[in-house]
Amino acid sequence: MSFPDFQNFKPYAEKWSVSQCVEHIVLTEKMMFEMNKAEMEIPENPERKEEVKFKGEELMEGIKDRSQKYKSSEELLGGGKYNKPEEALADFKEQRQLMLDYMQNKPLENFRNYISDSPFGPIDAYQSMLFLAGIR
The average pLDDT across 91-101 equals 91
Strand, helix or coil for residue 124: strand
Q: How large a percentage of the chain has pLDDT more than 90?
A: 28
What's the pLDDT tens digit per position in 58-92? 877 877 777 877 778 888 887 778 888 788 889 98
Higher pLDDT, residue 30 or 19? 30
- Taking residues 6-12, report their average pLDDT: 75
Which helix (H) or strand (E) segment holds residue 121: the answer is: strand 121-124
Instruction: Answer yes or no: is pLDDT of 1 > 50.
Output: no
| Burial (CB count within 10 angstroms: exposed 0-12, middle 13-18, buried 19+), residue 45 | middle
The pLDDT value recorded for residue 115 is 94
DSSP one-letter code for 43: P
Mean per-residue pLDDT, 22-44: 90
Round the average pLDDT of the chain to a whole number and report it. 84
- Strand runs (DSSP E) across 9-120, as ranges? 115-118
Would you state the pLDDT for residue 73? 84
What is the pTM (predicted TM-score) of this model? 0.79
5: which residues sit within 8 A by CB, 6+ positions away? none
Q: Are 41 and 110 within 8 A, CB to CB?
A: no
pLDDT of residue 6: 61
Nearest-5° Cα angle at 30, 10 to 56: 95
> What are the residue ranges spanned by the domains of the chain?
55-62+83-136
d(CA 97, CA 110): 20
